[in-house]
Amino acid sequence: MKNIARVLNGPPCPLRDELRKLFAEYRASGPNLIRMMENDHRLERKFRDHFGARYVFTSSGFANIEIVSEQFQHDDYHRAVLIFSKLIINKDWAKLDGPCSWCSKYFVRRRRSFRKKENVYCSRECSAAATATASMQEKRDQEYFDKLEKAQAVAHRWDPSSGIPLKEFVHKKTGFTLTWIQRALNHKDERKKLRGEK
């Protein structure tokens, strides 16, 4: 499993990209291999026409199954399918997960717990970093809206006939910087825009 994760996390190359596409398709299917093969006829044909299984006997009472390529082709898609086939016959298939929502790495979990979630993290550090970033953004948004509310209350008292520009008026009454006021006046998000009209 770690070898598969290593290829998925490797430097950009056609093999890595093909394997990532297959893994994304696999995750999106449920994973459900019947559904995946029904939706991807090229992949289904590749397995049917080019791959076979071979028993590898051990000194215990257990035999491994090995995927063999009967007509090996040197294209990256064929190699990616061969690597992918090792994932789907591995009893620990559910341990491979990713990409991490924070660092974008693929990883092997300690336990079999394949989860179809929007956010998956490879480590506590990545989870904490993502949570901290989201919390900080929430805090910044709240501070902005508090500031905007105060500026808006002052802007409603502005009289255009006074000859003082709105920006200057809000600056004198609130102490907010002219730059912040100008950005609020020009904000593209209507919820975050400062308005001069009552």
| Residues 109 and 63 placed together within one structural domain of the fold | yes
Counting the structural domains of the chain, the total is: 2
| Predicted pLDDT at 140 | 86
Is residue 197, in this structure, part of any structural domain at all?
no
Claim to verify: residue 106 and residue 139 sit in the same structural domain: no
Residue 165 parent element (H or E): none
State whether 60 and 42 are in the same domain. Answer: yes
* Weakly modelled stretches of the chain, pLDDT under 70: 72, 112-119, 196-198
The structure tokens 């105060």 sit at 150
> Tell me: the pLDDT tens digits for 155-177?
888 888 888 889 899 999 999 99
> What pLDDT is stored for residue 43 in this prediction?
92
105 and 139 together in one domain: no
Same domain, 76 and 144: no
The domain boundary, picked from 93, 122, 151, lies at: 122
pLDDT score recorded for residue 9: 95
Whole-model pTM: value is 0.62
* CA angle in degrees (0–180, nearest 5) for 54-56-60: 150
CA–CA gap between residue 99 and residue 189 (Å, rounded): 31
Q: Based on the domain organization, do 11 and 103 belong to the same domain?
A: yes
Residue 89 per-residue DSSP state: T
171: closest CA among 184, 188, 189? 184
pLDDT at 53: 84
Q: What is the pLDDT of residue 5?
A: 93
Tell me which residue range forms the domain holding 179: 127-192
Q: Are 35 and 103 members of one domain?
A: yes
